[in-house]
Amino acid sequence: MALPKITQIGKIPTLEFLVADLEKADLELSRLFDAGAADAEYLPACERHWTLREAINATPARTFPELQAKARAAQIALELDAEADCEGLGCFKELTRSLMSDVTAMQPDRKGAIPHVGLGASR
């Protein structure tokens, strides 16, 4: 399944954008599950959810807001993966590994603060 459409040429979706999209996909997945949707409708929603989780896993977090976004994705994954023996790049375990790697790779400034760039900042 394709990643979200990018509106500007050369712009890569931010973690914040990907996680916002994941939250929407998560709500849709819950709605379909609660409604007892047929596989033809439910499985594409699952695939979209998983694709977003994999994209988030593959995107390094370099600022505090990005760490928060990736942590939110891990929280969503935990809610779905807790009962399942889930494996793959978008699973809770892999998102958590990615988050830990991002935290340990961050270089604090001279005062010990990590970069804090707000939404809309360019990379």
Element (H, E) at 101: helix 92-105
Tell me how many domains the chain contains.
1
Give the range of the structural domain holding residue 42, as residue numbers without chain letter: 15-105
* Global pTM exceeds 0.85: no
95 within 8 A of 77, measured Cβ to Cβ: yes
Is residue 84 domain-resident? yes
Is residue 46 domain-resident? yes
Is residue 114 domain-resident? no
Is residue 116 domain-resident? no
Instruction: Transcribe 2-47 into DSSP letters.
Output: PPPPPSSTTPPPPHHHHHHHHHHHHHHHHHHHHTT--HHHHHHHHH
Is residue 82 domain-resident? yes
Per-residue tens of pLDDT for the chain, all 123 residues:
455 454 444 567 889 999 999 999 999 999 999 999 999 999 999 999 999 999 999 999 888 888 899 999 988 988 887 666 777 778 888 888 888 888 888 777 766 666 665 444 433
Is residue 62 domain-resident? yes
- Two tokens at 26? 């998560």
Is residue 74 domain-resident? yes
Is residue 92 domain-resident? yes
